Amino acid sequence: MLIDTGATKTFINSKILHHLVSVDSILKQPSSFLLADGIASFKVLGLVDLTIEFNDFVTPIKAYIAQNLCTDIIIGMDYINRYNMSINVKKQTVHLESHNRHAVVPIINPTKSIKIPVISCSTISLSSNTATTIQVIIPISAISLPFIPNSSFKSHILIDNKKKNLDFQNYHSELVFYNSKEIPKFIRKGTCLGYLLCGSMFQHPRTFYSSNFHLIGATRVTQHLNSLVKNIPDDQIKQALLSLLESFSNLFDITRHNIARTPVPHVINTIPHSPPANRPYPQPDKEEAMYELVQEFLKAGLISESNSPYAAPALLVKKKDNSFRFVVDYKRLNAITIKDSSPLPNIEDTILKLGKGFSYFSKFDLKSGFYQIPINETDREKTAFITPFGLYQFNVLPMGLKNSPPTFQRVMTETLKSFRHFCLVYLDDIIVFSKTFPDHLNHLKNVFSALQDKNLVLNPLKCELAVKQIDYLGHTITENCVTPTKDKIEAILQIPEPRTLAQANRFLGSLGWYRRFLPKFAEVAAPIHSVTNLTKPNRRKFKWQASQSNAFHQLKQMLTTEPLFLNFPVDDIPVILTTDASDLGIGGVLQQEVNGQFRNLCYHSQTISPCQRRYSTIEKEALAIYKCLDRMRSLVLGRNIIIMTDHCPLCSIMQKSCKNNRVNRITHLIQEYNIDKIIHIRGQYNCLPGYLSRYTKEPFDDLFDIDYGLASTDQSLSLSPTPTNDINNSSSDKLASPKDPLILASMTLRPRKNQVHYSEESISDTNDFDSHHSYVDMPNSNPKRKTKLTPQISQNYFDTTQLEVEQDRDFKIQNIIKNISTNSNQHQFILQDNILYKIIRCFNSSNRLSKVIYLPRSMINPLLKACHDDPLSGAHFSTDRMYYKIRPHFWWPGMKTSIQSYIKSCSLCKQFNVDRAKKHGHLHSISPPTEPFALIGIDFCGPLPRTPRENQYVLVITDYFTRFITAIALPNCTADITARALFEDFFCKFGIPSVILSDRGTHFQNKLMENLQNLIGYHHIYSTPYHPQTNGIVERFNATFVAQVSKLQNTQHNNWDEYLQAVVFAYNTGVHKTTKFSPYELLYGRPARLPIHIQPKEFTFSKPNDYFVQLKKTLRLFHQASRENILSQQRTNQAYYNRNRRDPQLKLGDKVLTRVHIANGKLDPKFSPIPKIVVEIHHPMYVVEDECTQIRSQVHISDLRPIIIT
């Protein structure tokens, strides 16, 4: 920058202009200026609005565009006079003043060296032992200076010694980087590779270089300011407002991050609790974008690096313009944060104050308001968030923190409290009101000055200026009246009148819950009741006439007026949001319970797009909550909210993560609301929201706020209209043209041979159908939805014209024909028209005989294929159904056996058929041990609700001999926690077991457990995958103890772990059904003393050793009897389990299909289509191998289906 006191105007170099503004924003006014000699001249191309910022001091100015300037910008006297610029040569500073604000900018001494950082332009990967050219950038348009590499890159950057300077043109240059390492090197975008050194090259006596300024593309700010006043008809008012806005243009600069200067920082008070810490969410495709955002926030001072014990996971959500929004999941921090009970301003008082004859209104909205509020330094560590490349913490108030609205309200109230007579604020909505325009202009100036002093920035896209009518907090405000907007009741007003009996019944049903709150409900609704209370034979008499229409509109009016409807929420009472979703749309009702009476505040109803209709139920229900909160934001933000839904899985989404990513994203977006709880209600009590989600027929709008990343990422789900040449353009209740393959698919005829395959090209333009015929039986037809169906559903594999030829070739049939001609007593067969028939008795009549064709052997398989594989003739049904379909028409020897063999060999039936019989495989019980703790089973139960002691899981350990249980409550089920619990709570108390049996979970099957096994010395065996019956004793106890603990715990405090040991003790001291002894008695040789027992008598032994001898004798008797009881019970269980159960034996080399255990849809195969080979036999366990991958797996016989090759 050059400050030139001899220049009358300010100029900018045209070479740097395209970096700052768009071409459209340049005012092209070619002219010329004289140089200092008064003779020579130079031309300018036009005029542009710029903003020069010195630290936080923003100065707008109009600059002339010139070519070939000696510097990027020349500051002339127009700028110097406007901002009272003065130069203090002694202190080497420049002083600026504007609107009671001033700035002091230090001058860089041109005789001293200046370091200009050289930055990499993009992220690049450098291969090993190769040289790569890297694009670099500096903040100066053109210069040639010596380059000094950064110390960390000094050995990698190659510099031409003959050419000491690095030349920059258009801000860019190139460096050659040599990677001498054996591994690739990664240089991120924005990395400082070195510096350019500026010495005493600047010798112009009137040139000063400031280190604290940067040029802003002010054209966007100017465009925003112009848009704010473009609708004002009075030119004088428009010019006065525009002049005022230009004076405070920095208030509308949304191109930068800023932190407000406020004495009210945000404080996070938490209950005594361990700091919640989570792992980072995996988002590998967005990691680079997250890194760049974090660097931007660090540079702006919004965040800083952290060593906090807190860690909330951060994630990116794609916005509409493919950029990303930064979101942090603060659910666990919010759960331990003490609620700020500071009240928000009373909406009713606010609205009443505005309705006092004011003529001019202006409304302003803060840009990213929360991000402008600083956080108390001692609480910043609590906002720490974890990323894949480090831990950071916020310096400003992030989105999603509890208590954000009260803090924000306090900041705004403190900032604008001096102007309460003409300015009101409700969270981030500021309204200024005046009776005359001069007053309004002065009021705006005062408000702007206050906001500027606090360094707050407004969002010009959401501001309105000097209007006569304005919408504020759900009300339309003018000089003469204040009326509620129709947004809150629009969902009710748009309900169409019923036209059918079903629609009328649905409307009355939706209002049933409000009967007790609506006076004279029965009287008003009587005309509708009279035409809906009809018996089934009289339903055709339904008529909707004028009396019913009047009652309908009167009921809608009762829903939208007092006493049921409130225009203002009542303070200090929670709001209740009831939502529902259907396949058509979403609906919601906002209420408050006032003195035991429910009063409605707002209604919302909206159809959803075809893409959203494909969402699962939980996603649609969560979407309903999100959209209702978003539409009712001004009524619910900062208030306690109770959400009521008829979808139970949503009740815990604010306490813990859901396995559905879309639902998780929605929970991140609604963290800013004070949601006290989500309650499940039965569908029959969710009448009106359910009705609002179903009645509407209006076209949908884009419900998903794509800025928040809720839209589907599948770009193939296009919402554009389908071309009319593919689908008939008539309405959905018309019959489609024959050209439509949807209709042709159901009309294709099936000749026995020489079949014609229809296609769109083979259909003539003429048609035999009237496309205007009514076709009311197609409720699912949709002309806007392009459906591609196979024109030929069925293929015929069986040709009856070949019967005579094939019978002539069949040796057995020819012998029977000869016997018929020579033996007149052959009554079982008959020859007719050269076709041999078999005489059979009809299966549905014991007396009637019938003749059926004797099918030649060569045609058996084509017939079976046609009657089983063909969709129309067979559709892969069972043996009996196929047999009874063929028997009336054909016969051959061993007919039923052939059908059974064919179906058993069908690979599709193997994959998809559901077992109706008992699962294969007999029961093989584990032989009971001979002593305690010879064999123990271990398993985890959980996750259970998290307790105040952070416990979520229970490690259950069962002794297979005594059935003695040990249960340990744990916070998680990781490998280290499992190993520590086994060692400290079992091995150190009961000794080392001989064998441990567990499932194959990662908490049991890992290197740490393997090392523990080798160190201590026990044998660890694992159950068969997907066969929990192997460790059935532990599984059985898990089912028992969960029910017992549930009965004892306090559901509000989730303190089940306090009762865990008591429940286990009660189990261990009770008689076990199998052993006929209590586990405690088998382990210690005596029954446990309980509070209900009488004091035992004293026993005396003549010798101290007598007790030990007696104990050994008792334990030996107990153990012997217990083992016999276990074996007896096992024999009984085996006999019961094995009854009528098949136990097939496979052989080495047999091909089998394995059961698919992962969660699949109803139409997915039950068994894998890829066959595997049996390579090891340990019946009922088999080791099978995939022929392609050679991967082996252990499978139980119940999860195998043998492939029968015919």
DSSP letter, residue 962: T
pLDDT (0 to 100) of residue 770: 35
Q: Bigger pLDDT: 1149 or 878?
A: 1149
For 850-881, write each residue's pLDDT tens digit. Answer: 888 999 988 888 888 888 887 776 677 778 88
CA distance 324 to 708: 9
Is there a contact between 139 and 198 (Cβ–Cβ < 8 Å)? no
- At 1160, is the pLDDT very low, low, confident or very high (cuts 50, 70, 90)? low
Go through the chain and tell me how many residues it has: 1206
pLDDT (0 to 100) of residue 910: 74
pLDDT (0 to 100) of residue 163: 58
For 609-667, write each residue's pLDDT tens digit. Answer: 888 888 888 999 999 999 889 888 878 888 889 999 988 888 888 888 888 888 888 88
Kind and range of the H or E element at 501?
helix 501-511
| Residue that the structure tokens 């893409």 belong to | 611
Q: What is the mean pLDDT of residues 387-399?
A: 89
pLDDT (0 to 100) of residue 1096: 64
- At 391, is the pLDDT very low, low, confident or very high (cuts 50, 70, 90)? very high
Give the whole-number percent of the chain exceeding pLDDT 70.
78
Q: What is the mean pLDDT of residues 765-769?
A: 35
Indicate whether 727 pLDDT > 50: no
Determine the residue type at 1007: K
Is there a contact between 657 and 313 (Cβ–Cβ < 8 Å)? no
CA angle 392-393-399, nearest 5°?
120
Indicate whether 555 pLDDT > 60: yes
> What pTM did the predictor assign?
0.42
Contacts of 1095 (CB under 8 A, 6+ apart): none
CA distance 404 to 399: 8
Q: Bigger pLDDT: 760 or 650?
A: 650
Q: What is the mean pLDDT of residues 1067-1072?
A: 85
Nearest to 989 by CA among 956, 966, 959: 966
pLDDT (0 to 100) of residue 440: 92
Q: Beginning with the edge strand found earlier in the chain, give each strand of the sheet holding 1181-1186 in spatial order.
A: 1192-1196, 1181-1186, 1172-1178, 1151-1154, 1200-1202
Q: What is the mean pLDDT of residues 76-105?
A: 82
Indicate whether 587 pLDDT > 50: yes
Q: Bigger pLDDT: 180 or 321?
A: 180
pLDDT (0 to 100) of residue 1051: 58
pLDDT (0 to 100) of residue 641: 92
Indicate whether 205 pLDDT > 50: no
Q: Bigger pLDDT: 737 or 905?
A: 905
- At 439, is the pLDDT very low, low, confident or very high (cuts 50, 70, 90)? very high
Three-class DSSP category at 1090: coil
Nearest to 46 by CA among 88, 90, 4, 14: 14
Mean pLDDT of the chain: 76
- Burial level of 1054, CB count in 10 A (0-12/13-18/19+)? middle
pLDDT (0 to 100) of residue 606: 82
Structure tokens belonging to residue 42: 């130079």
pLDDT (0 to 100) of residue 696: 53
For 974-1014, write each residue's pLDDT tens digit. Answer: 888 999 999 999 999 899 999 999 988 888 888 888 888 88
pLDDT (0 to 100) of residue 472: 85
Is there a contact between 402 and 269 (Cβ–Cβ < 8 Å)? no
C-alpha separations of 1109 from 514, 1112, 1116 in Å: 79, 5, 11
Indicate whether 219 pLDDT > 80: no
Indicate whether 215 pLDDT > 80: no
Is there a contact between 281 and 315 (Cβ–Cβ < 8 Å)? yes
Indicate whether 889 pLDDT > 70: yes
Q: Bigger pLDDT: 378 or 283?
A: 378
SS (H, E, C) 694-744: HHCCCCCCCCCCHHHCCCCCCCCCCCCCCCCCCCCCCCCCECCCCCCHHHH
Indicate whether 204 pLDDT > 60: no
Handedness of CA 545, 546, 551, 552 (dihedral sign): positive
Indicate whether 691 pLDDT > 60: yes
CA distance 664 to 655: 11
pLDDT (0 to 100) of residue 482: 75
- For residue 755, the cross-strand partners are none
Nearest to 395 by CA among 232, 269, 266: 266
Contacts of 529 (CB under 8 A, 6+ apart): 508, 522
Q: Beginning with the edge strand found earlier in the chain, give each strand of the sheet holding 470-472 in spatial order.
A: 470-472, 475-477, 482-484
Indicate whether 763 pLDDT > 70: no
Is there a contact between 237 and 466 (Cβ–Cβ < 8 Å)? yes
For 115-146, write each residue's pLDDT tens digit. Answer: 778 888 887 777 777 778 888 888 776 777 88
Q: Bigger pLDDT: 1020 or 597?
A: 1020
Residue-by-residue DSSP string for 412-455: HHHHHGGGTTTEEEETTEEEEEESSHHHHHHHHHHHHHHHHHTT
Give the whole-number percent of the chain exceeding pLDDT 90.
9
pLDDT (0 to 100) of residue 642: 93
Q: What is the mean pLDDT of residues 73-101?
A: 83
